[in-house]
Amino acid sequence: MMARAEAASTAAERLRELSGLGASRLAAIFGVSRVTYQNWVAGTTPQDGRREHLLEALALVEEAAHRLSDPRATGDWLLTPVSPMGRKPIDLLAAREYETSRGFVLRLPVGQQRARLLPPSRRAHRRLSREAVDDALARLRPRASIADAELAQVADGDTVDADPDR
């Protein structure tokens, strides 16, 4: 039993070192309080399947840390949305979606720090009326010109008068 507690303590501490995240963020992955996570680091054995969850999360974070080669980059990657729905690796770990998390880890290039937090946007979101959207789209569409119509007629085999006023 003592060996299991030491292994969990080592795993909890290693997870904190590799991720560069605080105890509160890491505790959220496992659905426990910050104090409980700190107790794991101090030597308390996680209960109710959380030990296995801790070991699974550690394995994935170790792989990400290996690929990113920097704890700060690993922490940034864990907090950066990686899916079209805006899910973050830390959310996937909390939901025990290990295979999905592993897929995102394997997409990381080895030895390159690509994950960065984006600065907050200063743009204000505003809704446009349907008419405003239609007007903007109309301005983006290319307008047909007389030359385009003439080229289309020539391509069809029709003849085009050189002087359209005649």
Give the model's pLDDT for residue 1. 47
The verdict on pTM exceeding 0.75 is no
Phi-psi group of 99: left, alpha or beta (phi > 0 → left; psi -120 to 50 → alpha; rest → beta): alpha
Whether residue 32 is contained in a domain is answered as yes
Question: What's the gap between Cα 98 and its chain centre?
Answer: 15
Total domains in the fold of the chain: 1
Q: Domain of residue 67: give its range.
A: 2-106
Whether residue 165 is contained in a domain is answered as no
Candidate from 40-49, 89-98, 99-108, 121-130 with smallest mean pLDDT: 121-130
Please state, rounded to an integer, the average pLDDT across all residues of the chain: 80
Residue 90 scores a pLDDT above 90: yes
Model confidence over 30-68: pLDDT tens digits? 999 999 999 999 988 898 889 999 999 999 999 998 888
Whether residue 155 is contained in a domain is answered as no
Whether residue 142 is contained in a domain is answered as no
Whether residue 45 is contained in a domain is answered as yes
The HSE-up count of residue 143 (CA atoms within 13 Å, CB side) is 4
Percent of the chain with pLDDT over 70: 71
**CB 41, CB 9: distance < 8 Å:** yes
Q: Residue 151 is encoded by which pair of tokens?
A: 């080229």
